[in-house]
Amino acid sequence: MTEPVYQCAYSWRLTPSGSSDPNYPEVKLETTFDPINNPGLFEKWIWANRVFIDVYVPEGSNFNNCFVYVWDDKAYFETGNGWVDGVFQQKVMGPGWNRVVLPLTFKIKDLDPSRPRTYKIGFGFRHMAEGQEKYRENGYPLNQVPIYIGGIGVF
C-alpha cells in the first residue's frame, strides 16, 4: 500500500462490486452471527446499546450516509421479507477518520438465540441521499472515491 490510510493495524478499502443506481451509489459490508466464524458476536450484539464503525473519508468525497441493519435469511426464504430493522445516520463527514455511532433498537437486537446463523449484520454506505440534489453534480460515486473501514465494535 503506497498511501496508508489506517489508524489501526489494518483497514479495508470499500468499493461497489456490482452495478448500482448512478443517482444513489452505495456499497454494503455484511457478516453473520455464525458462532464458528464470529465467536461471541451474537451475545455481544444483543446486550449492546450502540454499534460504532470507523470510516476514513478521502478528500473530495461527499459521503453523507451510513446505516446498520439486520437481515434474517430464514424469514426471507419463508415469507419473502427478511428485513428485521435498520438505523440510519445522515451527515456530511469530514476528510480523514470519522467514528459513526449508531443506536441499536430493541427490534434490531430481539433475535432468536436458537438460530444465530440465519441473521446477517450489515453496514451500508452512500454518497447521496434523498433531498440532497446539490451533491448529484459535484458528487463522486463510491467506485471513484472509495471509503475505508478501520474498526467496528459494540458497546
In single-letter form, the type of residue at position 46 comes to: I
Q: Count CB atoms within 10 A of the CB of residue 4.
A: 9
Q: How confident is the model at residue 77 (pLDDT cuts 50, 70, 90)?
A: confident
Mean pLDDT throughout 62-83? 79
Q: How confident is the model at residue 2 (pLDDT cuts 50, 70, 90)?
A: very low
What pLDDT sits at residue 79? Answer: 76
pTM of the model: 0.77
pLDDT at 136 over 80: no
**Cβ-Cβ contacts under 8 Å for 43 (sequence gap 6 or more):** none
Mean pLDDT computed over every residue of the chain: 78
Q: How confident is the model at residue 109 (pLDDT cuts 50, 70, 90)?
A: very high
Mean pLDDT throughout 109-116? 91
Q: What is the bridge-based pairing of β-strands 65-72 and 119-126? A: antiparallel
Q: How confident is the model at residue 66 (pLDDT cuts 50, 70, 90)?
A: confident
**DSSP codes joined into one string, the chain:** --S---SSS--EEE---S---TTS-EEEEEEE--TTTSTTHHHHHHH-SEEEEEEEE-TT----EEEEEEEEHHHHHHHS--EEEEEEEE-PPPSEEEEEEEEPPHHHH---TT-GGGEEEEEEEES--TT-THHHHH---TTTS-EEEEEEEE-
Our CA angle for 60, 151, 8, nearest 5°, is: 85
Query: Most confidently modeled of 79-83, 104-108, 136-140?
Result: 104-108
CA distance 73 to 57: 31
Is 137 or 145 the better-scoring residue by pLDDT? 145
Q: Domains in the chain, start-ordered, CATH in brackets? A: 27-142 (2.60.40)
- Set of cell numbers at residue 74: 430464514
What percentage of the chain exceeds 90 in pLDDT? 19
